[in-house]
Chains A and B, each alone.
Chain A
Amino acid sequence: DSGVTQTPKHLITATGQRVTLRCSPRSGDLSVYWYQQSLDQGLQFLIQYYNGEERAKGNILERFSAQQFPDLHSELNLSSLELGDSALYFCASSRNRREGNYGYTFGSGTRLTVV
């Protein structure tokens, strides 16, 4: 157990729907990162939050949004889902921005299947 908890582990939904993926960072970690892993795109950085504030944005679609709450858990919202959004979505955390330079801890991921 890495200490980063992601729920649900699996999600199957239809095109056009909206889903919310949840991440609880490791205890004491302030930074949360979201990544998408797909066969054709590999691991793509989506977004980073630090202590509730957005810090960096990657290749995140406008249909996707995220936030980090006061208790530091984070949610990734995916809307108007398309078949191509099917992927593994990983959350990771680090103690602070500087510690991110030393690598961060990943959760086990949420596998999203859009049918």
Chain B
Amino acid sequence: EAQVTQNPRYLITVTGKKLTVTCSQNMNHEYMSWYRQDPGLGLRQIYYSMNVEVTDKGDVPEGYKVSRKEKRNFPLILESPSPNQTSLYFCASGTSGSRPDTQYFGPGTRLTVL
């Protein structure tokens, strides 16, 4: 089954404790992306990657890091989480160069930073 998986689905942590949210896709997609969804703000892009070792900032990259060492994985790293990073996070993947309606979303990770 074609899918995007995220782990963990739920996470409660404390300010300053480094964490990683994993994202994996099994569709051999070149393009992967991270979004956050906040009430009243919709979905905002954090980082995206066009292919292995190619990443770029989205609209709200501050406080986040990403890496793309393998095609299927695109982890989101919060080196020193803060309460304003409490949000619902979505990973997505798609085929580069084709229409954007090929983008598939993961189920989401709800992060709470105390």
Asked if A pairs with B, the answer is no
Q: Which residues of A contact B (CB under 8 A)?
A: none
